[in-house]
Structure 1
Amino acid sequence: MIRGFTLILLFWILGESLHFLSGIPISGNVLGMLLLFGWLMIRQQVSPELERSSQLLIAQLSLLLLPGGVGLFFLGDRMQGQWLPVLAAIVIGTLLSMLFCVWLMKRLSHKVDTPKEAG
C-alpha cells in the first residue's frame, strides 16, 4: 500500500512542479491527476497497491472535503450578496460534471452484444 501512496504523491508533486515551472493556470493537484490518468491509460492497468491506496483515500473523501465546507460557514459576512453566483456555480458545475460523467461512461464502456434469438 505504501507503493500506491508513493505513486499518488509522486504524481501530485509532478503536477505541482509543472504548475510552478510553466505557470499553467490549472491547479497542480489537477495536473497531477491528469498525469496519473495519462500514465494509467498508457499502462492499461492499475496495480493492486494503487487500487488499495486510492480506495482508502476515496473512503475518507468526506473528511478531505469537510474543511472547505466549514470554511464557507465562517465567510458569511464576506459572502453576503454573493450567494446567488455561488449557488449558480455549484448547480451548473454539478450538472456539467454529471453530464460529462454520463458521456464519458457511455463512451468508454464496451457494449455487450446480446445473442440474437434464432427465429
Structure 2
Amino acid sequence: MQFLNGITLLLVYQLVGEIAVRLAGVPIPGPVLGMVMLFLTLWLRGAVPDSVGEASTALLSHLSLLFVPAGVGMMAHFSRIADEWVPITLALLLSTIITMVATAFIMQLTTRWLQRTTAPEGGKGNE
C-alpha cells in the first residue's frame, strides 16, 4: 500500500505540473515542473515520506526498462537518423563539451566559495 500511495503522489505532482504548464504556456515539460514542485515540497517539509521513498526506490530499480521506448523510437526512425547523422553528432559533441565546461566552471566556483566560507576568521589560514 505504501508503494501505491507514493506512486500516486508522484503522478499527482506530474499532473499538476502538466496542468500548470498548459495554463501558463510555459515552454518547459510538465513533468519537469512537477518534479521541481515536488522537490520544493520535500525541501520545505525537511523529509521524504516513506511512501515516496519506497515508490522512488522501486522506480529507480527498474530504470533501465524506461529506455526501451527510446530505443524502439530510434529503430522506428533509423532512416531519418541515418540521413541526418552529421548534425546529430555535432549537437551531441557540442552539448557534451559545453556541459563539461559548465560543470567544471561551477565546480571551481563552488569550491572557492566553500573555502572562503570555511576559512578561519583572522585570515586565510596558515601563511
TM-score range, shorter chain: 0.7 to 0.9
Distance 1:99 1:66, change over 3 A: farther
Tell me the distance in 2 between the aligned counterparts of 1:26 and 1:2: 28
Q: Percent identity?
A: 34
The 3 A distance-change label for structure 1 pair 55 and 88 is farther
Using the TM superposition, give the Cα deviation of residue 87 of structure 1 relative to its aligned residue in structure 2, in angstroms: 3.1
Q: State the match for 2:12 in structure 1.
A: 10
Correspondent of 2:103 among 95, 99, 108: 99
1:99-118 matches, cutoff 5 A: 99=103, 103=107
CA offset digits 1:33-56 (Å, max 9, x no partner): 111111111111101111010010
Map 1:20-99 onto structure 2 (within 5 A).
Answer: 20-93=22-95, 96=99, 99=103
Question: 1 or 2, which has the higher helix percentage?
Answer: 2
Unpaired stretches in structure 2, ≥5 consecutive residues: 112-127
Q: Size of the alignment, in residue pairs? A: 107
Q: CA deviation at 1:25?
A: 0.5
Are residues 90 and 58 of structure 1, via their aligned partners in 2, closer, same or farther at CA, if it must alter by over 3 Å?
farther
Tell me the alpha carbon deviations over residues 79-106 of structure 1, each in whole angstroms, 9 at most, x when there is no partner: 2332233234445555628938x95xx7
Paired letter, 2:81: M
Range with greater deviation from structure 2 (90-99 or 55-64): 90-99
Instruction: Summarize the Cα distance change of 1:5–1:84 in structure 2 as closer, same or farther, 3 Å threshold.
Output: same
When residues 3 and 45 of structure 1 are mapped into structure 2, their CA distance, relative to the original with a 3 A threshold, is same
> Whole-Å Cα distance in 2 between the matches of residues 91 and 43 of structure 1?
40
Large movers: runs of 4+ above 2 Å: 84-100
CA RMSD of aligned residues (A): 2.8
Q: TM-score, normalised by structure 1?
A: 0.73
